[in-house]
């Protein structure tokens, strides 16, 4: 499976971004110089300009300066990787570096500017162009997009953004994200859409996009499956998976002096990155047999990309300004180590979980179904043509023969059948010899047949549409291969690739020469005189001495970095220990020993989701008995204190009710109406009325004084003249509808009152 000869190193390239506006305005020095030819990054120490500290030199597979072009970088570094993904290898591209150094710029770039598009969009173009030019191959491309933030995995393409996904492992296919959605894409436009949706979700979930993106890892996954007829006459499927990873900012989150909760949060954020560092160290070390992949989600998910079955390119992004020099050096050291990781990539042929195979099988199944349908029809038709009862074998062969013309035939067949049925129906209608009942029955029968025919047809059409939809997802190329411009473009690309390859080889040679120079210096030299020997050896000594110095400085730097890291870790450890002590204190003082032991016995570590869980409480582990109830709970649902029990008995207070909190007494509804009460008449008015009712001749009531105080309550008869109280009923009929008639006689200037219907006497 993995022979040593097929192993290859992780490719590491460094890209230094230009100074930004702010840095230029603040007049920061640039301390980074880039030697593209030699593939070297040279970092000066800004503090010691006197020159006694030598610049630090790092060599990489390729380096890119501030004026590097996206496309140039793609052709040189990423194209070969994506190309191998198309052949069925796994590939991974990491962007590593401090926040603001151009990771996202390298991976995504500027969306609307074709010159500044990053690796991800360029790879879309590359993949689909490759497919369109392929021949006799079938492709299926799908994309997923996920994010790891504070050790939680979020699917950026799912509708429910609050859901967190879990990692799972299968012995045959390795680690995968459970329930991660993936979309089959048929064109550049479609896959771009997928990316945009994911990016939108990424920023929606974040309160502060900048901070969020600097603390989360985004992974865009493209899976390319390709099916091709092998030499053995069988279809073989190759599956290549491309991981495009925009890592969180590599700056230490603890630098800002975070403490307590914030510190812990910071460690969680850094966990994946430091785990990545540890994995790299362990891989490079060669001595450690244990690689701590399981320490973080990121390293677990990308296990294959680090020392496994994948081709990997790491882009280290750095900034040139002097104030970033520490981070820059850390980044360079980190990626310098990664150079030594050995991967063992291989082509993934015929994996079990290839979606393409599933698609092909499903299409074949549907097609068979469709054929069976049309076969049935044809058989029926043929039978009809040949007359009932002809031999079946002959028909079978006939069926297979005209299989191909099936498509065109179908429409005719349906029409034919329909017309025939229609005709028969008419014939029945016209046939006067039939009894009406019989006629109705026959008609019904025919109608049912027509309905059946329609249904069958619909089902067939549906099936055909499904087959078509599935087939459309499988991409086949070879159409525009003859296209002239396409051909030219291809040539151009090839040339570009050749140039890139040339450059790469030149660089490699230069690097080799450089290193060989030193080794062979000694061998070549023969000395003519003692003095010359002294001179040359002094020169050499000087050279070696300076080398020694730089190595020493490097060692010192590393030690310092190491000490810093250790101090940080110790600080975190102290925090955690303090936390642990507090928890212990609580447990010791507030939880009975017995209970504690029970919980300790029940707790176990579940490997799969990697968390502690509790065994169910009902059984004691060894003897399979029911657990005895605690004494405080005998007879109750749950343990109760003595006080609560007493209180429960004394008063029916809900607070102490542990069970039966439903009250079962009948609930008499409260009354919402009132008894009828007679209207109360104001005493003054009552007196006046009484007076008025006594005898009409005797009294003269001047009611004008009530006007203001009684207002509308006053009946018209009372306000006007109480001279005709014969019936006791005020005259509110037609007559009194004109207010003037009642008021004017006694008080012509009085205000108009609305006419009330008056009081109803008993």
Q: Which residues are annotated as a binding site for ATP?
A: 97-104
Query: What is the gyration radius of the CA atoms in the chain, in angstroms?
Result: 46
- In whole angstroms, the minimum distance from the beta carbon of 123 to ligand ADP comes to 17
In this structure, the strands spanning 152-155 and 137-149 are antiparallel
Largest CA distance in the chain: 166
Helix (H, G, I), strand (E, B) or coil at 126: helix
Beta strands in 120-199 (DSSP E): 137-149, 152-155, 167-170, 174-177, 183-185
For ligand ADP, give the closer residue by CB, 115 or 412: 115
For ligand ADP, give the closer residue by CB, 141 or 321: 321
317 binds, among ligand ADP, Mg ion, none (CB under 5 to 8 A by kind): ligand ADP
725 binds, among Mg ion, ligand ADP, none (CB under 5 to 8 A by kind): none
- In whole angstroms, the minimum distance from the beta carbon of 314 to Mg ion comes to 16
Tell me which residue has its CB nearest to ligand ADP: 102
Point out which residues pair with 11 in neighbouring strands: 313
- In whole angstroms, the minimum distance from the beta carbon of 16 to ligand ADP comes to 8
- In whole angstroms, the minimum distance from the beta carbon of 214 to Mg ion comes to 6
User: What is the token pair recorded at 139?
Assistant: 């492709």
Q: Count Cβ neighbours within 10 Å for each residue of 66-80 and write b for 16 or more, e otherwise.
A: eebebeebbbbbbbb
- In whole angstroms, the minimum distance from the beta carbon of 58 to Mg ion comes to 23
Residues that bind Mg ion (CB under 5 A): 103-104, 213
91 binds, among Mg ion, ligand ADP, none (CB under 5 to 8 A by kind): none
For ligand ADP, give the closer residue by CB, 18 or 375: 18
141 in Cβ contact with 185 (< 8 Å): yes
Distance of CA 185 to the CA centre of its chain: 17
Helix (H, G, I), strand (E, B) or coil at 636: coil
- In whole angstroms, the minimum distance from the beta carbon of 249 to Mg ion comes to 7
Helix (H, G, I), strand (E, B) or coil at 408: helix
For ligand ADP, give the closer residue by CB, 74 or 706: 74
Using CA atoms, how far apart are residues 56 and 398, in angstroms rounded to an integer?
82
Q: Which residues are annotated as a binding site?
A: 97-104
User: What is the token pair recorded at 692?
Assistant: 């008025």
746 in Cβ contact with 720 (< 8 Å): yes
For Mg ion, give the closer residue by CB, 103 or 378: 103
Residues 6+ apart with CB under 8 A from 174: 303, 304
- In whole angstroms, the minimum distance from the beta carbon of 97 to ligand ADP comes to 6
Using CA atoms, how far apart are residues 757 and 568, in angstroms rounded to an integer?
93
User: What is the token pair recorded at 345?
Assistant: 């990539």
User: What is the token pair recorded at 127?
Assistant: 């993949």
For ligand ADP, give the closer residue by CB, 216 or 348: 216
- In whole angstroms, the minimum distance from the beta carbon of 103 to ligand ADP comes to 3
For ligand ADP, give the closer residue by CB, 91 or 100: 100
377 binds, among ligand ADP, Mg ion, none (CB under 5 to 8 A by kind): none
Phi first, then psi: give them for residue 336, nearest 5 degrees.
Answer: -65, -35
146 in Cβ contact with 166 (< 8 Å): no
Which residue pairs, CB below 8 angstroms and at least 24 apart, start in 708-713? 710/682, 710/685, 711/753, 712/753, 712/754, 712/756, 713/682, 713/685, 713/756
- Of the candidates 288, 441, 451, 353, the one whose C-alpha atom is nearest the C-alpha of residue 142 is 353
Using CA atoms, how far apart are residues 124 and 479, in angstroms rounded to an integer?
19
17 binds, among ligand ADP, Mg ion, none (CB under 5 to 8 A by kind): ligand ADP
For ligand ADP, give the closer residue by CB, 269 or 282: 269
Point out which residues pair with 311 in neighbouring strands: 91
For ligand ADP, give the closer residue by CB, 201 or 214: 214
For Mg ion, give the closer residue by CB, 245 or 280: 245
454 in Cβ contact with 117 (< 8 Å): no
- In whole angstroms, the minimum distance from the beta carbon of 612 to ligand ADP comes to 36
Distance of CA 317 to the CA centre of its chain: 26
For ligand ADP, give the closer residue by CB, 17 or 377: 17
- In whole angstroms, the minimum distance from the beta carbon of 31 to ligand ADP comes to 17
User: What is the token pair recorded at 105?
Assistant: 């710029």
281: burial class by Cβ within 10 Å (0-12, 13-18, 19+)? middle
Residues that bind ligand ADP (CB under 6 A): 17-18, 20, 97, 99-105, 214, 249, 317
Tell me which residue has its CB nearest to Mg ion: 104
- In whole angstroms, the minimum distance from the beta carbon of 504 to ligand ADP comes to 20
């Amino acid at each position: 499976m993995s022979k040593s000869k097929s192993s290859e190193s992780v490719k590491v390239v460094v890209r230094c971004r230009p100074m930004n506006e702010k840095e230029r305005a603040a007049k920061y020095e640039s301390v980074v110089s880039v030697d593209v030819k030699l593939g070297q990054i040279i970092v000066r120490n800004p503090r010691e300009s006197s020159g006694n500290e030598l610049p630090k030199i790092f060599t990489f597979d390729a380096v890119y300066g501030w004026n590097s072009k996206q496309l140039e970088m793609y052709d040189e570094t990423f194209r070969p990787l994506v190309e191998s993904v198309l052949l069925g290898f796994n590939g991974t591209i990491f962007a590593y570096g401090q926040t603001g150094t151009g990771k996202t710029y390298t991976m995504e770039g500027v969306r609307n500017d074709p010159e500044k598009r990053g690796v991800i969009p360029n790879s879309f173009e590359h993949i689909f162009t490759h497919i369109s030019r392929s021949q006799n191959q079938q492709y299926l491309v799908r994309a997923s997009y996920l994010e790891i933030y504070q050790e939680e995995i979020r699917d950026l393409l799912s509708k429910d953004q609050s859901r967190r996904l879990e990692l799972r492992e299968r012995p045959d296919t390795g680690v995968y994200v459970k329930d991660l959605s993936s979309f089959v894409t048929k064109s550049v436009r479609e896959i771009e859409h997928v990316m945009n949706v994911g990016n939108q979700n990424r920023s929606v979930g974040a309160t502060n996009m900048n901070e969020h993106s600097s603390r989360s890892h985004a992974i865009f996954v493209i899976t390319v499956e390709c099916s091709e007829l092998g030499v053995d006459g069988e279809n073989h499927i190759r599956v290549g998976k491309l991981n495009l990873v925009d890592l969180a900012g590599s700056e230490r989150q603890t630098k800002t002096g975070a403490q307590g909760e914030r510190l812990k949060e910071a460690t969680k954020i850094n966990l994946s990155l430091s785990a990545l560092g540890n994995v790299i160290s362990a891989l490079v070390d060669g001595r450690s047999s244990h690689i701590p992949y399981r320490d973080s989600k990121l390293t677990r998910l990308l296990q294959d990309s680090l020392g496994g079955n994948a081709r990997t390119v790491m882009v280290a992004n750095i900034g040139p300004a002097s104030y970033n020099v520490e981070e820059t050096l850390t980044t360079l050291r980190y990626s310098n180590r990664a150079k030594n990781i050995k991967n063992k990539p291989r082509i993934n042929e015929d994996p079990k979980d290839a979606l393409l195979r599933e698609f092909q099988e499903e299409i074949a199944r549907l097609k068979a179904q469709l054929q069976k349908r049309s076969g049935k029809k044809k058989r029926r038709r043929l039978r009809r043509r040949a007359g009932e009862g002809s031999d079946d074998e002959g028909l079978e062969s006939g069926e297979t023969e005209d299989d191909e013309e099936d498509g065109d035939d179908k429409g005719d067949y349906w029409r034919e059948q329909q017309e025939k049925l229609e005709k028969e129906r008419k014939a029945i209608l016209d046939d006067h010899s039939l009894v009406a009942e019989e006629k109705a029955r026959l008609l019904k029968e025919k109608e049912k047949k027509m309905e059946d025919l329609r249904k069958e047809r619909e089902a067939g059409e549906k099936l055909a549409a499904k087959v078509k939809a599935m087939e459309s997802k499988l991409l086949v190329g070879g159409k525009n291969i003859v296209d002239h411009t396409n051909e030219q473009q291809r040539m151009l690309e090839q040339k570009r690739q050749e140039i890139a390859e040339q450059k790469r080889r030149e660089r490699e040679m230069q690097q080799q020469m450089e290193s060989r120079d030193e080794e062979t210096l000694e061998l070549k030299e023969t000395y003519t005189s003692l003095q010359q020997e002294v001179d040359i050896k002094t020169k050499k000594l000087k050279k070696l001495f300076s080398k020694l110095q730089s190595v020493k400085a490097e060692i010192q730097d590393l030690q310092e970095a190491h000490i810093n890291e250790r101090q940080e870790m110790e600080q975190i450890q102290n925090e955690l220990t303090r936390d642990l002590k507090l928890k212990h204190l609580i447990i010791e003082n507030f939880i009975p020993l017995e209970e504690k032991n029970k919980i300790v016995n029940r707790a176990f570590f579940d490997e799969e989701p990697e968390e502690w869980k509790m065994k169910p409480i009902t059984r004691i582990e060894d003897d399979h008995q029911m657990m005895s109830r605690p004494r405080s709970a005998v007879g109750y649902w749950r343990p109760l204190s003595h006080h609560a029990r007493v209180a429960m008995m004394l008063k029916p207070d809900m607070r102490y009710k542990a069970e039966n909190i439903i009250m079962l007494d009948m609930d008499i509804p409260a009354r919402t109406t009132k008894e009828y009460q007679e209207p109360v008449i104001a005493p003054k008015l009552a007196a006046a009325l009484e007076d008025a009712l006594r005898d009409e001749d005797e009294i003269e009531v001047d009611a004008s004084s009530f006007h203001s105080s009684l207002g509308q309550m006053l009946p018209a008869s009372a306000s006007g003249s109480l001279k005709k109280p014969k019936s006791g009923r005020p005259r509110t009929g037609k007559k009194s509808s004109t207010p003037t008639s009642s008021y004017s006689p006694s008080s012509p200037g009085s205000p108009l009152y609305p006419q009330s219907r008056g009081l109803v006497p008993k």
